[in-house]
Structure 1
């Protein structure tokens, strides 16, 4: 066993390095996206929230159009803290998704892209 020699650390390889001995883990936090990709992801997340909430919104609409007896079960749920938070998240998602969609349409139309 050699006691006086230092072992050289292996050279760090990048994912685009053709001479890499093995692949490098490219985690989602290591990827730096351009601003337009970040805005696109910000548009898709509220859209996903709205799609997932759609069955509950349809049930609430059906209950509101029915007799007053059916609405009695929904009112305490909507007035609770959890119901208020859900309404806030849904309104935020709808507003954000709508404004981001308009922004994407304006980008596609060529408005202020210079």
Structure 2
């Protein structure tokens, strides 16, 4: 099953974990067959939030909400169950400086029936 591990860091800890540590961990995940994708994100000052209400689009600079920790990146992993996903998430290097949210990835229900 696919799990998305969202990496959250506070602004003061944004650069606390070196890219080389994250890259090395991603290589370990790839070698073990758990890695599907991983990417760091630029700081929230570069974010744009888009909304569409009543057919009208609006844009806001910055994130959707003011929070203490901000989305810093993600790892998309393949794990046999939630326990394995949590175990892998606990090894993500930025977990020492922020938090990792682990969420199962849901398949879209396209309502297509097979004959």
TM-score normalised to structure 1 length: 0.20
From the two aligned structures, give the one with the greater strand fraction.
2
State the structure with bigger RCO (CA 8 A, min sep 6), 1 or 2.
2
From the two aligned structures, give the one with the greater helix fraction.
1
Bigger radius of gyration among the two: 1
